[in-house]
Amino acid sequence: MSVVALLLSAGVAHAGLYQFNLTGDYTASWQLDSNAEPDDASEGEGLVYWDTAGSFPGSIFGVIDLYFYNGEQNGGLELYDYYNDFTLVVVDGPQLYTGSEFAPTFLLGTFSLVDSFGSGTYTLTVTDLDAGPVDVPEPATGAMLAGGLALLYAARKRRRIQ
């Protein structure tokens, strides 16, 4: 009965807001919806979000074109200032998304990246801003659950005997 109640109370998953922080030889930060559709994509190569707002030192209007590359293209990402026709940074590393380039799912965590054209090192941290703290049940809660199940089992067994 309680399993049915849980299934009926389950809701549709909502899009989260992801925070991206790039640190190292260049520092930048931006946010994207977890299910944001790319503005352009090429299967097996990567995807791009145009006019992404954030903190991008050196960008003329504070927006950049944000490229995420497929693992076959050395992974990583590129921050390109279209309006200034200037590449702020290109870094190689792991592929930062799963799924297809047309419907990516970004990976959460911390990733080490290296400069594609030099010796710079970077760290990208991706976090879900909508994720709240995970509730961890106290040991007493587990003990109460086990005790309740034991009582139900004993009551059921007692009925069968009578």
Alpha helices in the chain (DSSP H): 2-9, 139-161
- What's the pLDDT tens digit per position in 136-161? 567 777 777 777 777 777 777 777 77
pLDDT at 114: 95
DSSP structure class, residue 71 = G
Q: What is the mean pLDDT of the chain?
A: 85
pLDDT higher at 161 or 102: 102
How buried is residue 94: exposed, middle or buried, by Cβ count under 10 Å (0-12/13-18/19+)?
Answer: middle
Side-chain half-sphere of 80: how many Cα atoms within 13 Å? 12
- What's the pLDDT tens digit per position in 86-99? 999 999 999 999 99
- What's the pLDDT tens digit per position in 27-68? 999 999 998 999 999 999 999 999 999 999 999 999 999 999
